[in-house]
Structure 1
Amino acid sequence: MLVRIAKKTDVSAIVQFQMAMAEETENIKLHQPTVEKGVEEVINDNTKGRYYVAEKKGKIIGSLLTTYEWSDWRNGTVLWIQSVFILPEFRRKGVYSKMYSHLKEMVLQEESLKGIRLYADKDNKAAQKTYKKLGMSPDHYITFEWLK
């Protein structure tokens, strides 16, 4: 299995993953043209974030998005993991662990990167178990949001 930065040729797979994830996790049917434009924006402008894909035998089997948070406390960037999706037939087979390890190694090697964060639905116990197994710990913050 290969973990790599996504390319323009991966947009279609990533869009399909995002559509499936929204429906699976939140029962939301996303507007595909909007998602396509959103994914393309990131692929074309890595200041917005960066997609990573897991590929096995030439097939994209998973993806995730990292976005950036500037930390004045750490004088560096914290990567936020978002939009994680692994094809159902490849779940619980180490795909996300490999992707996470790739990011963690990148953070360890790059002085300007200070850590990794993500959020998980409070009821998604399977995801929380995975993150804890990889050495992540719940933080002491509560996430709030307002969305248009």
Structure 2
Amino acid sequence: MINIQRADTSHINIIIDYQKKMAWQTEELELDDDTLQKGVTAVFNDPTKGQYYVAIHNEEVIGCLLVTPEWSEWRNGTVLWIQSVYVSKDFRKQGVFKQMYNYLKAQVIADEKLMGLRLYVEKTNLPAQKVYEAIGMNGDHYQFFEWMKTF
């Protein structure tokens, strides 16, 4: 049995660990420990930045993700962005992300102020893209562009 719930501060260390693993696995990017600690903690200190959710199996956190809000004037409501998805290697291909997604989707359906769910994925992360397509998401509408300040 997997339980999906909003993360609390007791989950900070596992979230940090999973984010480091996710960044390395998807982009071969080594995250700065201090910056990551401050970034994750900032979400818990200021809920307007977003909310972490965790998947728990037998009292072990086996997955996490971050949801951040985006105002949509076209819809006069909030779209939730799913970010920083990580599922422990031992639990992949077992529907963990699907359960997390369905949990969030149920929240969107139940709240008239929430309009939908979005996420972005690395172009080369084909396994993740297949998962997202399998649960009914599509990438037909937008292509993601960015500019990031480098340090």
Residue 113 of structure 2 corresponds to residue 94 of structure 1:
no
Q: 5+ unaligned residues in a row in structure 1: which ranges?
A: none
RMSD between superposed Cα atoms in Å:
0.7
Aligned to 1:60: 61
Residue 75 of structure 2 corresponds to residue 74 of structure 1:
yes
Question: What is the Cα deviation at residue 140 of structure 1?
Answer: 2.2
Question: What is the Cα deviation at residue 139 of structure 1?
Answer: 2.9
What does 1:1-148 align with in structure 2 at a 5 Å threshold?
Answer: 1-148=2-149
Secondary structure in 1 aligned to 2:67? strand
Secondary structure in 2 aligned to 1:84? strand
Secondary structure in 1 aligned to 2:11? helix
Q: Residue 43 of structure 1 aligns to which amino acid in structure 2? A: F
Question: What is the Cα deviation at residue 32 of structure 1?
Answer: 0.8
Secondary structure in 2 aligned to 1:139? coil
Query: Runs of 4 or more off by more than 6 Å in structure 1?
Result: none
Compute the TM-score of the two structures, normalised by the length of structure 2: 0.96
- Deviation by residue 1:39-93 (Cα, 9 ceiling, x = unmatched): 1110121100000000011110000000011000000000000000000010001
Cα distance in 1 between the residues matched to 2:113 and 2:42: 24
Cα distance in 1 between the residues matched to 2:36 and 2:140: 30
Cα distance in 2 between the residues matched to 1:33 and 1:3: 28
